[in-house]
Amino acid sequence: MPTTRSTTAADGIEVEYERHGDGRPVVLLHGGMAPREYWQPVVPHFEEHAAVVPHRPGFGTCLDDPDETGPGEVLEREVAYVRALVEDLDSESDERPVLLGHSFGALTAIETARALTADGRAAEIEAVVAYEPAILPEPFAEHADLADRMAARLDDGDREGAMKLYVEQVVLGGEVEDLDAWLAEWPVWPDCVALAEEVVRMNYAVERYDLPERLDVDAPALVLAGTEGPEFLRESARTVHDALPSSRFVEFDGVSHSGPSEAPERTAAEVRAFLDAR
């Protein structure tokens, strides 16, 4: 049975997380519109590790003033949250945690590693694993307006429509014949609608993020992508790989942007192989 633990981030936000099992902690950071249940198919494949699933702010964790959290603060808030979690894990274990992020969670993992490196504390984590980080390549960033279009639907009271737009454009890359039929088979969909405001804020943060030519991350990194997701996210994964000083790139054939939950065994196997090769 998982244990629930908590600590406090520098900004005062309470950091809660579930820890499954024993061994080296693997912190599972979900993407923008998926609740933490996204990782349920993945956790059993890390049975030799301690799978750590945070209750991230805005995704089931109470914020003091969620409506006052601007898009420019979202990523900074996420990094502060993960850093507090890493410090708590370091205090209770001799084994350094691995950060495994999907989509916006992958961007958060990378930015957390950058912040730790800048502070001379990169040794606090063992490695970073990023599945299709939510970063826009330059040609896409110049014309990005998904957050505005989602916000317009929210203003009209169409929460479900706002989230459908996100699924269609990001999760499925605009390539789906019957979106409603696809959503009917997606277990996390009903819970996603409640996250609409947080996803809009997250998308503004993604659209305004400027990827540097070099990502100063001292920890080794594994960048993952799937061949069936949106092309711009596959391109961003390759660009992130090129910007990291120590990185391995692996592409999963036939897997979409929902790679970790869609192919949990393959994801866990790649992470294990990467850690064993170090």
What counts of helices (H) and strands (E) characterise the chain? 11, 8
> With a threshold of 0.75, does the pTM exceed it?
yes
Can you give the pLDDT at residue 15?
A: 83
Residue 159 lies in a domain: no
| Residue 208 near residue 146, CB atoms below 8 Å | no
Task: Using 50 as the pLDDT threshold, list the residues of the chain that sit under it.
Answer: 60-69, 71
Task: Give the CATH number of the domain where residue 240 resides.
Answer: 3.40.50.1820
For residue 220, the enclosing domain spans: 3-137+210-276
Residue 74 lies in a domain: yes
The H or E element containing residue 73 is helix 71-92
Structurally, the chain folds into a number of domains equal to: 1
Can you give the pLDDT at residue 81?
A: 86
Residue 12 lies in a domain: yes
Residue 130 lies in a domain: yes
Tell me the DSSP string of 209-262. ----SS----S-EEEEEETTS-HHHHHHHHHHHHHSSSEEEEEETT--TTHHHH
Can you give the pLDDT at residue 34?
A: 61
Cα 6 from Cα 14, distance rounded (Å):
7
Residue 144 lies in a domain: no
Cα 14 from Cα 17, distance rounded (Å):
10
